[in-house]
Structure 1
């Protein structure tokens, strides 16, 4: 692995100007190897000492390069084990699952921090999203999603109060809470687009404003056609992939 990093580092060194800082060149070299699949999810990197010796760089330079990739979510450090390529999370667009269910199926440990969890009167915009009458009650949820302690997604969710009488009953999964009232969604419409994260979402996800992200809007329905959920989720673009199975007629 050290030889692959050294080869890419030297290639960039010959292609770029001498004014390019060494830590940036090393960061780009490692990121290129990740992007092209040479360094796959879960692969361990050589130690800082080995990288510094093999590339004839200081350990401060190596540490600065790795730190930037860790901040981007491309690398993760495990206490006493070393530095590894982060596992990207793949989520299907073809199945209606909750965030919690989806990650549990992959053997990951999802956590949630509630930033807001309250009941109020629906606004005109919320009434349109949920097909509610003016004056209806609505549950508003704002949540920060984590995987193994790292923030992955920031979500804002609306649910008709009539379908979720007690929002405090929500633990890790909204769908599990809805299921207790017999209101688990049966179908949903989703829209995904790439965005540059604005300040609020970027700060929650521990990224700089303008960092690439994914915005997913979900409108979920009960079997009788009532809207049970409207959610806008901002995902880290460096940690999440959405896939869909396509079939010809």
Structure 2
């Protein structure tokens, strides 16, 4: 890894700046996307600098999006961004299609009265309860998204008795004959709040892509789900043509949550 110019020396340029540029060259030219970089201890030993200097250099590159920290695993070069499909494909199916191993952690379940906006989206009666499900979605052990969804309780009785660590859409199809055929989806950018950042293993304020999807089957809305995706891992590409209908707000559902 270390070449002639890749040394940290005493001089007018701060050592953390010198090390940052060494690590930049490493990430951009030598390592594959998603590859681990040496540990802080190894970098400190190799370049004869303090752990604080290493931490500062890495932190700058994390802020730039060139490196990514994964809590409990280390620091990695940024993976190539994955395309997020604006479709009704489930997270589990999408990750398997990419050759990744999907997994899910259940964060919370509850049956309660939702916000007025969700009640309108799901066409619930006054003070009618719904099933609330929050999950952390991972691929190859890396947390990629936090999902917080509401479901019409009458349409999915016993939802929380299912194995919700598996594909929810597969479970809905198998147990309730629910196969979503239409959905309205809204996308926006957002800075990560403290709790979402903690779950995703990123810094508070990091960029997120947020998707709100209201899914229906045979014209009846069943799901109102919002997903927060790590912005450095994803991009969205859409094809537009002159004859496409103009996009607009969610009909009869209000605006963004």
Q: CA 1:77–1:174 in structure 2 vs 1: closer, same or farther (change >3 Å)? A: closer
Q: CA 1:173–1:233 in structure 2 vs 1: closer, same or farther (change >3 Å)? A: same
Q: CA 1:37–1:243 in structure 2 vs 1: closer, same or farther (change >3 Å)? A: farther
Q: Are 2:137 and 1:141 equivalent residues in the alignment?
A: no
Distance 1:4 1:156 in 2: 51
- The residue aligned with 2:190 is 195
CA contact (8 A) 2:20 2:58 kept: no
Q: 1:208 Cα shift?
A: 2.6
Alignment counterpart, residue 132 of structure 1, candidates 106, 124, 130 = 124
Q: Which moved more, 1:114-123 or 1:101-110?
A: 114-123
CA contact (8 A) 1:51 1:62 kept: no
State TM-score, norm by structure 1: 0.73
Q: 1:103 Cα shift?
A: 0.8
Unaligned runs of 5+ in 1: none
Q: Are 2:240 and 1:242 equivalent residues in the alignment?
A: no
State the aligned residue count: 236
Unaligned runs of 5+ in 2: 243-257
* 1:89-100 matched pairs, under 5 angstroms: 90-100=82-92
* 1:169-184 matched pairs, under 5 angstroms: 169=162, 170-180=164-174, 181-184=176-179
Distance 2:76 2:35 in 1: 5
- The residue aligned with 2:16 is 23
- The residue aligned with 1:212 is 207
Distance 2:42 2:205 in 1: 34
Distance 1:194 1:185 in 2: 26
Taking only aligned residues, the RMSD between alpha carbons, in angstroms, comes to 3.9
1:158-201 deviations in Å (ceiling 9; x for gaps): 11112211222133222112112111212222222221112221
